[in-house]
């Protein structure tokens, strides 16, 4: 049960990332590229929600009223994607399925059309690059669309990437930079000065110094980044007022196989197609390798990742309504993942309010999209102690009631805003 | 490529069964139990349609107008099932999931009800053990049934068995009787006196002496049994007029998981439930181990075993109509198999018209049900040269036009009827 070191070169690393999913690996890679010694701990590195996700980079088509700050963050991450991917492909020597294909959001009936026109007006007011198509024009772009399509939004800047290949490439790139990836489950946060088995938080707990794993192993580090996705709220020893308010939101996803890759002449679908069917978001994301990802349910079921008859049924029913021709396609995989949902659908980034603990979680539906900006901002924060302005609205501090006791027992006002570059 | 022997004890076996699916293995086991030395050749022994099948033993609920001879065969095989299973379980030391649970065939609307009443009247005329239930009575038996159920037939003698476990047990039992199971693909029938590479049939071809495999190996035997299911018509070197008129009929099947086994108190379903939904046969077969098999599509797609989005969608849609509660159940497997369909939905049993070649194929939807009677009749035929009366209507001879040239070049009238015990 002694204190052991993460970092194969001996001694504690500068940073230990708890969570080796897409966000955790990207943070680790960017931090290592900035010269920090980095460890990652995860029971199944490269797993997590991104393995299930469709990988839509849909800043424009997913815009919602009143979420302008999140839109800015999403757009910034989307803007960084080509560079992020180019660097990663160079670093890992592996392709990641990034595809600049655009997205078509369609309306299936008159009510849908009226709602989509409102979204379109909102997007135009925000200056977003969208155009309106009639049903006929939409079918000209995508001949497999149902005859019932009444109109569509074309967002030519909403692209896609393959989350699985992204995770695989990040694992390779991390390995090449000497990041030490430990297979294990972090159970409890360790703090200096606090009794290891004592109650969480309070004046007894000092600076965060590492984590204890399920098997009792202790990993120490200069700073800890909590990037455990939907599992982020399960780490013990985190004071309640610091614990990220993140819950699992289950998504079931199908993978079909198209007759040929999405870029081929006469391809089944040329771009991402999405709609709201019976009030539920549905999307079909065609990959160049012929995979067609159909997603996704949104269910509040705790930590359940069961693929159910009902989930698969609804996805197939709604996808069939949107693109009737899918019935002929092989169904090659069904899966379910857990999005890390936050109270305001936005991520939780940067200082936690606890000295030595940073957060990179709560990305909800936008984890793949937000990976570059998250990784860049966290790396900057870990190196300089300052969180870039674009991420400033997204610290955990926004969830704290004013006048509530500070999260960190020792620091009177919490470091959250102090550490943000205003 | 010399002639090598099937049969590990050296020398040619008495019988070589081409096809190690359920029927082939059962024939091999019964023949070996009668004292014959037996070999089986199959690229994947224990595979085949029975691995996908629901394993309904539905002689009564599947009865069709004008198929009284087939009904007699089905009933005879159903009657033999308990003894067959008891012997097999004893011989193999493995359970096979045989379950005497009965079957409920339900009507979902007034039209269905009228049709099901006609089936019921027909079954009663034939003296079959069925009873009629109101919708309310049916739901009292099976509370998960849809509220729309208008009436039902209860066939208390239509049971089920697990085809996968049946195949596994038969492989064990065959092994214990010294049956030599060769992994390989039989490509061509070998006949004495004919040139091995020469054209099929004709006066040049004599008695069947074995098969040549894909890799050139030749397996010889005293008699060959063609039991290759949907692949039976692909064996080269079989004269066209002898070739069993068998085609693949694709069936897609789902496996869900019930909260507890079907025999448990408060079980999800207690018996097989079936219906005709939109003109298509649908059944839900609950196993004691908690597996719920939902089947099956019927598609004429050649040798394609792709699981398609449309196939899965239709099964889930129709099953949901019959038992709405399935939406909550985990979907654990999707698969597709190929039934060996014959022109009259009945199997092809016994003499082929070619000396030394017997047939046990073309079982269509009823392969699992017909396994005991097929195995018994083929074993009798292989030992004595006489096909038992119950199988007499099912020789290949019924497909030959009268006056057409005999199948076997040497035998003027074909041995088919001569060899049947009248």
Task: Residue B312: list chain A partners with CB under 8 A.
Answer: 312, 316, 331
Inter-helix orientation angle A163-176/A22-33, to 10°: 30
pLDDT of residue B234: 95
Q: Could you give the CA distance from residue B105 to residue B284 in angstroms, rounded to a whole number?
A: 10
Which of B313, B319, B329 is the closest to A308 by Cβ? Answer: B329
Same domain, yes or no: B334 and B356: no
Does position A186 have pLDDT exceeding 80, yes or no? Answer: yes
- Tell me, yes or no, whether B175 lies in a domain: yes
* CB A154 within 8 Å of CB A130: yes
SS3 A158: coil
Chain B residues with CB-CB distance to A311 below 8 A: 331
Per-residue pLDDT averaged across A24-43, rounded? 98
Spatial contact of B127 and B63, defined as CB atoms under 8 Å apart: no
> Are residues A270 and A376 both part of a single domain?
no
Per DSSP, A337 falls in state: E
**CB-CB under 8 Å, B331 with A307:** yes
Residue B310 is nearest to which of A307, A310, A327, comparing CB atoms? A327
**Contact indicator for A231, A19 with CB cutoff of 8 Å:** yes
- Give me the CATH number covering residue A271: 3.30.9.10
Quote the percentage of chain B above a pLDDT of 90: 81
Q: Could you tell me how many CB contacts below 8 A there are between chain A and chain B?
A: 69
User: Which chain A residue lies closest to B333 (C-alpha atoms)?
Assistant: A334
Instruction: Please give the distance of CA B403 from its chain centroid, rounded to a whole number.
Output: 31
The partner residues of A361 in beta bridges, in order of sequence, read A348
Report the DSSP pairing between strands A331-341 and A291-295: unpaired
Residues of chain B contacting residue A254, judged by C-beta atoms under 8 Å apart: 309
Say whether both B348 and B233 belong to one domain: yes
For tokens 């006196």, what's the residue? Answer: B193
* Cβ contact A263:A271 at 8 Å: no
**Is residue B257 domain-shared with residue B321, that is, in the same domain?**
yes
Q: Which residues in chain A have Cβ-Cβ distances shorter than 8 Å to B331?
A: 307-309, 311-312, 334
Q: How far is B267 from chain A (nearest CA, A)?
A: 18
For B91-102, what is each residue's pLDDT tens digit? 999 999 999 999
- The length of chain A, given as a count of residues: 422
The CATH number of residue B171's host domain is: 3.50.50.60
pLDDT by residue (tens digit) across B199-241?
444 434 689 999 999 999 999 999 999 999 999 999 999 998 8
Judge: A306–B330 Cβ closer than 8 Å, yes or no: yes
Beta bridge partners of B377: none
B313 with A313: Cβ contact below 8 A: yes
Chain B partners within 8 Å of A307 (Cβ): 330-332
Determine the Cα–Cα distance for residues B356 and B70; give it in Å rounded to an integer.
26
Q: What's the number of CA atoms in the CB half-sphere (13 Å) around residue A369? A: 28
Provide, as residue numbers in chain A, all residues whose Cβ is less than 8 Å from the Cβ of B307: 330-332
Q: Nearest-CA residue of chain A relative to B311? A: A327
pLDDT at B263: 67
**What does residue B213 show for φ and ψ, rounded to 5 degrees?**
-90, 170
**Contact B319/A309, CB-based, under 8 Å?**
yes
Number of neighbours of residue A189 by Cβ within 10 angstroms = 26
B125 part of a folded domain: yes
A406-410 long-range Cβ contacts below 8 angstroms, 24+ apart:
A406/A353, A407/A201, A407/A239, A407/A241, A407/A242, A407/A352, A407/A353, A407/A354, A408/A239, A408/A242, A408/A353, A408/A354, A408/A355, A409/A201, A409/A202, A409/A203, A409/A204, A409/A205, A409/A239, A410/A203, A410/A206, A410/A355
Q: Specify whether A337 is located in the same domain as A252.
A: yes
Q: For A301-314, what is the mean pLDDT?
A: 96
Contact state of A327 with B316 under an 8 Å Cβ cutoff: no
Q: Do the Cβ atoms of A310 and B320 come within 8 Å?
A: yes
Question: Helices B163-176 & B68-92, crossing angle to 10 degrees?
Answer: 60
Residue A70 placed within a domain: no
Query: Are residue A132 and residue A256 in the same domain, yes or no?
Result: yes
Task: Count the domains in chain A.
Answer: 2
Alpha-carbon distance of A75 to A260, in angstroms, equals 31
- In whole angstroms, give the CA distance from residue A288 to residue A90: 20
Residue B333 has pLDDT above 90, yes or no: yes
Residue A254: pLDDT band (50, 70, 90) is: very high
| Residues ≥6 apart with Cβ < 8 Å to B204 | B193, B194, B195, B198, B409
Q: CB distance A313–B317 less than 8 Å?
A: yes
Give the mean model confidence (pLDDT) for residues A52-79. Answer: 95
pTM of the model: 0.87
Distance between B303 CA and the closest CA of chain A, angstroms: 15
- Residue A312 and residue B312: Cβ atoms within 8 Å? yes
pLDDT of residue B393: 96
The pLDDT tens digits for B154-173 are 999 999 999 999 999 999 99
Task: Name the band, by pLDDT with cuts 50, 70 and 90, for residue A401.
Answer: low
B327 and B257 housed in the same domain: yes
Helix, coil or strand: residue B176? helix
Residue A24 binned pLDDT confidence (cut-offs 50, 70, 90)? very high
Measured distance CA(A151)–CA(B376) in Å, rounded: 65
Question: Is residue B327 in some structural domain?
Answer: yes
Clarify whether residues B305 and B170 are in a common domain: no
Shortest Cα distance from A154 to chain B (angstroms)?
27
**Model pLDDT, residue B11:** 81
Q: Closest Cα of chain A to B320: distance in Å?
A: 8
Determine whether the interchain pair A331/B308 forms a contact, defined as Cβ–Cβ distance below 8 Å.
yes
B3 or A111: whose pLDDT is higher? Answer: A111
- Sheet of B103-107: strand order equals B130-134, B151-155, B103-107, B272-277, B280-286, B291-295, B247-257, B331-341
Mean pLDDT, residues B4-18 taken together: 73
Least confident of A101-110, A389-398, B199-208, B324-333: B199-208
Do the chains contact at A312 and B331, CB–CB below 8 Å? yes
Same domain flag for B324 and B181: no
Same domain, residue pair A280 and A241: no
Tokens representing B34?
Answer: 């009668």
Cβ pair B308:A320 closer than 8 A? no
φ and ψ at residue B22, rounded to 5 degrees: -60, -50
At which of A289, A321, A341 does a domain end?
A341
Q: What pLDDT was estimated at residue B261?
A: 66
User: Where among A320, A341, A362 does a domain terminate?
Assistant: A341
Q: Is the dihedral of CA A329, A333, A335, A339 positive or negative?
A: negative
Q: Assess contact for A7 and A215: CB atoms under 8 A.
A: no
Cβ B330–A308 below 8 Å, yes or no? Answer: yes
A420 part of a folded domain? no
Which residues from A are below 8 Å from B311, CB to CB?
331
Which of B358, B346, B354 has its CA nearest to residue B405? Answer: B354
Residue A205 confidence class, pLDDT cut points 50, 70, 90: low
Interface test with A, best of B144, B295, B309 (most A CBs within 10 A): B309
Q: A328–B309: do the CB atoms touch at under 8 Å?
A: yes
Across the beta sheet with A357-361, the strand order is A180-183, A38-42, A15-18, A223-226, A357-361, A348-351
Residue B301 lies in a domain: yes
Above 70 in pLDDT, residue A5?
no
Q: Span B97-123, mean pLDDT?
A: 95
Q: Which of B254, B309, B327 sits opposite A256 (nearest CB)?
A: B309
Which residues does B contribute to its contact with A (CB < 8 Å)? Answer: 254, 256, 306-313, 316-317, 319-320, 326-332, 334
Model confidence at B56, pLDDT cuts 50, 70, 90, reads very high
**Based on the domain organization, do A149 and A132 belong to the same domain?**
yes
Q: SS3 breakdown of chain A: % helix, strand, coil, rounded to 5?
A: 30, 25, 40
Rounded mean pLDDT of chain A?
90
Residue B417's pLDDT is: 36
Q: Is residue B89 part of a domain?
A: no
- Residues in chain A within 8 Å Cβ distance of B254: 309
| CB A2 within 8 Å of CB A23 | no
Contact B316 A313 (CB under 8 A): yes
Residue of A312, A319, A330 lying closest to B306 (CB–CB): A330
Contact call for residues A332 and B334 (beta carbons, < 8 A): no
pLDDT of A6 reads 44
Give me the torsion for CA of B70, B72, B76, B78, rounded to 10°: 70
pLDDT given for residue A193 in this prediction: 74
Residues A365, A373: contact at Cβ < 8 Å? no
Cβ–Cβ < 8 Å for B163, B22: yes
Instruction: Name which of A230-234, B235-239, B263-267, B352-356 the model is least confident about.
Output: B263-267
Helices (H), A229-366: 309-322
CA distance A336 to chain B (A): 11
Statement: residue B309 has pLDDT above 50: yes
pLDDT class of A415 with cuts at 50, 70, 90: very low
Our CA angle for B332, B334, B335, nearest 5°, is: 140
Q: What is the dihedral of CA A261, A265, A271, A276, to 10 degrees?
A: -90
Name the DSSP letter for residue A264: S
d(CA B356, CA B32): 17
| Domain-embedded: residue A365 | yes
Domain limit, last residue, from B292, B321, B341: B341
Question: Which is higher by pLDDT, B16 or B203?
Answer: B16
Contacts of A329 in chain B (CB under 8 A): 308-309
Same-domain check for residues A24 and A152? no
Interface contact B307-A326, CB threshold 8 A: no
Q: What are phi and psi of B185, to 5 degrees?
A: -105, 115
Query: Diameter of chain A by CA atoms?
Result: 68
By Cβ distance, the residue of A309, A319, A331 closest to B256 is: A309
Q: How far apart are the first and last CA of chain A?
A: 43
- Residue A152 and residue A139: Cα distance in Å, rounded? 10
Residue from the list A317, A328, A330 with its beta carbon closest to the beta carbon of B307: A330
A308 closest CB neighbour out of B319, B327, B334: B327
Q: Is A349 helix (H, G, I), strand (E, B) or coil?
A: strand
Helix residue ranges, H only, B93-244: 110-125, 135-141, 163-176
Look up the domain containing A320 and give its range.
Answer: 99-159+248-341
């Amino acid at each position: 049960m002694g204190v052991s070191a993460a970092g194969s070169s001996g001694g504690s690393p500068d940073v230990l990332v708890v969570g080796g999913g897409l966000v955790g690996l990207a943070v680790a890679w960017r931090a290592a590229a900035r010269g920090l010694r980095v460890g990652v701990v995860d029971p199944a590195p490269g797993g997590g929600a991104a393995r299930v996700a469709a990988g839509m980079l849909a800043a424009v088509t997913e815009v919602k009223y009143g979420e302008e700050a999140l839109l800015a963050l999403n757009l910034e991450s989307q803007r960084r994607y080509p560079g992020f991917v180019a660097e990663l492909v160079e670093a890992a020597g592996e392709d990641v399925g990034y595809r600049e294909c655009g997205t078509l959001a369609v309306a299936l009936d008159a009510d849908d059309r009226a709602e989509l026109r409102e979204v379109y007006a909102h997007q135009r007011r925000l200056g977003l690059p969208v155009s309106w198509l009639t049903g006929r024009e939409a079918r000209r772009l995508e001949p497999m669309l149902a005859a019932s399509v009444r109109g569509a939004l074309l967002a030519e800047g909403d692209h896609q990437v393959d989350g699985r290949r992204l995770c695989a490439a990040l694992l390779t790139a991390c390995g090449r930079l000497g990041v030490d990836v430990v297979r294990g489950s972090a159970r409890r946060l360790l703090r200096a000065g606090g009794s290891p088995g004592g109650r969480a938080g309070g004046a007894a707990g000092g600076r965060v110094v590492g984590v204890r794993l399920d098997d009792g192993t202790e990993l120490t580090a200069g700073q800890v980044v909590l990037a455990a996705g939907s599992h982020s709220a399960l780490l013990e020893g985190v004071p309640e007022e610091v614990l990220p308010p993140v819950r699992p939101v289950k998504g079931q996803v199908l993978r079909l196989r198209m007759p040929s890759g999405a870029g081929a002449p006469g391809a089944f679908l040329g771009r991402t197609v999405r709609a709201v069917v019976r009030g539920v978001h549905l999307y079909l994301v065609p990959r160049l390798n012929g995979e067609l990802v159909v997603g996704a349910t949104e269910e509040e079921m705790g930590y359940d990742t069961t693929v159910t008859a009902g989930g698969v049924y609804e996805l197939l029913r709604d996808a069939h309504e949107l693109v009737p021709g899918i019935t002929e396609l092989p169904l090659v995989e069904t899966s379910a993942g857990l999005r890390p949902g936050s109270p305001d659908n936005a991520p939780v980034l940067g200082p936690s309010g606890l000295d030595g603990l940073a957060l990179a979680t709560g990305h909800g539906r936008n984890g793949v999209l937000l990976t570059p900006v998250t990784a860049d901002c966290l790396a900057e924060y870990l190196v300089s102690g300052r969180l870039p302005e674009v991420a400033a609205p997204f610290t955990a501090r926004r969830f704290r009631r004013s006048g509530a006791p500070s999260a960190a027992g020792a620091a009177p006002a919490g470091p959250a805003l102090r550490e943000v570059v205003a």
